[in-house]
Amino acid sequence: MRAALVAGLLAGWGVAVPVGAVGAYLVALTARTSLRTGACAALGVATADGLYAVLATLGGNGLAPLLVPVATPLRIASALVLLALAVRTAVTALRAPGTLAALAAPTLPGPGRAFLTLLGITLLNPLTVLYFAALVLGDGPGGPDSPAGPLARTVFPLAVFAASASWQLLLALGGALLGRTLAGARGRRWTALGSAALVGWLAVRLLLP
């Protein structure tokens, strides 16, 4: 069980720590809304990672051939969703009146919507489950030949979720601190425009071979 716990924590941090478009969007969203909204969005990302870890431990070799043919379409869909979010963020920032209240809501998502949005975007990345599957196959922690198979297959995805959640919540906290530093309508507007440019650029990179 200890091996599965350590492997799950390392795997969760391994997939979460490299900050891509989703992480950049999470930071900017928290900066423009609230820590509560950002925390819900962060848990959406971690939930997706945990679900993919469960699929990897249960499916193993059987999932890889099923996911490979749809990996590219899902990657493109993820990039297009991120591009749409980047455009919407920029348009909202440019159209909003110069008051802090106008930039807060209802143009920005609440906690529930933020959770579902980040959950959906993260689930569009099938490479995540392939990453976890590669870690649990064979005799690895949680793998089908592991002596502690059933227990390890439970501990591993829970550890993945905990590790991913810890990092995503740290990003959300950073976004909240950034929002306090850039308090006011102008600061939030520049944060929105900067995040839109960054998320858009990272999304375009996903479209490139």
Domain ranges of the chain: 2-207
The confidence score (pLDDT) of residue 100 equals 43
Question: What's residue 129's pLDDT?
Answer: 67
pTM recorded for the entire structure: 0.72
Q: What is the mean pLDDT of residues 158-187?
A: 84
What is the residue-wise DSSP string for 93-146? HHHS-SSHHHHHSSSS--HHHHHHHHHHHHHT-THHHHHHHHHHSTTSTT-TT-
Tell me the per-residue pLDDT of 84-93, one tens digit each, with 9 for 90 and over: 878 877 887 7
**Residue-wise pLDDT tens digits, 106-146:** 466 789 999 998 998 888 876 676 676 666 654 445 444 44
For residue 26, the 8-state DSSP code is H
Quick one: average pLDDT of 176-200?
Answer: 73
Confidence of residue 45 (pLDDT cuts 50, 70, 90): very high
Could you tell me what percentage of the chain is helix, strand and coil, using 3-state DSSP and rounding each to the nearest 5?
80, 0, 20
Average pLDDT, the chain: 76
The pLDDT value given to residue 139: 44
205 CB neighbour count, 10 Å cutoff: 11
Distance CA(50)–CA(40), nearest Å, equals 15
